[in-house]
Structure 1
C-alpha cells in the first residue's frame, strides 16, 4: 500500500536532499544516498525532477508540463500524480 493515500493538486512538492543526479544521454539518473538505490527518471521524469528543485504547487507543475508537451490534460495529471506518489513513497520527494 502506498504511503501517500491522498495527494492533492493544491499541495506543494519538492526534492528531498541527499540525492546525486546526473544526465546520461538526455535522461536523468539518480542515486539516493539515503536508501542506496539507483533510479532512472527518464527524460520526462528528469524534467519534473528539475522543476521541483524548489517547492512547487502540483497544479502549477502540471500546467507547465501541458505548455511544454503535447499531451491530454487528464493524462498529464494522472501520470504526473502517479510519478510524484512513487517519488514520495521512495523518500525522494516531500509533499506539504
Structure 2
C-alpha cells in the first residue's frame, strides 16, 4: 500500500498513456501497452476528470463537496486513499511543474 503521508500536498495529473471512456455512467480505462483494464466507477471517474489539470487532494475535495452530499472529513480521506491507489497503479503522476509558482 502506498504511504499516504504528504499526498494531500502533491499536485496530481492524469497519465496520458491511458484510453478512458464513459460506459453507462462509469469511467473505464485501458492501458494500451499492458492491456490492463480499470473501472473507476462514477465518482472515481469524476476524480479522474478533475485530474485532467494538475490538482491537489484539497482542490478535488472542494469540487466534490459542491457536487455530492458527503462530509469533508470522509471525502478527504477517501480521495487521499483513491489518489494513492491511482498513483501506485500509474494512472496519475505527480505534477512537478505545478509546484513552482512564477
Fold equivalence (TM over 0.5): yes
Q: CA deviation at 1:60?
A: 1.0
Q: Does 1:93 align with 2:97?
A: no
Aligned-residue Cα RMSD (Å) equals 1.5
The structure with the largest helix share of the pair is 2
Match of 1:81 in 2: 80
Match of 2:12 in 1: 13
For 1:7 and 1:15, the matched residues in 2 are separated by 19
Larger Rg, first or second structure (1 or 2): 2
What CA deviation, in whole Å up to 9, does each residue of 1:46-74 have, x standing for no partner?
A: 00000101111221111111111100111
For 2:4 and 2:81, the matched residues in 1 are separated by 11
For 1:24 and 1:32, the matched residues in 2 are separated by 16
Unaligned runs of 5+ in 2: 96-102
Contact residue 7 and residue 85 of structure 1 kept, 8 A? no
The aligned runs of 1:5-84 (5 Å cut-off) are 5-84=4-83
Unaligned runs of 5+ in 1: none
Q: CA deviation at 1:80?
A: 0.4
What TM-score, normalized by structure 2, do the two folds share?
A: 0.84
What TM-score, normalized by structure 1, do the two folds share?
A: 0.89
Distance 1:42 1:17, change over 3 A: same
Structure 1's consecutive aligned runs of 4 or more residues displaced over 3 angstroms after TM superposition are: none
For 1:19 and 1:25, the matched residues in 2 are separated by 19
Q: CA deviation at 1:17?
A: 1.5
Contact residue 7 and residue 81 of structure 1 kept, 8 A? no
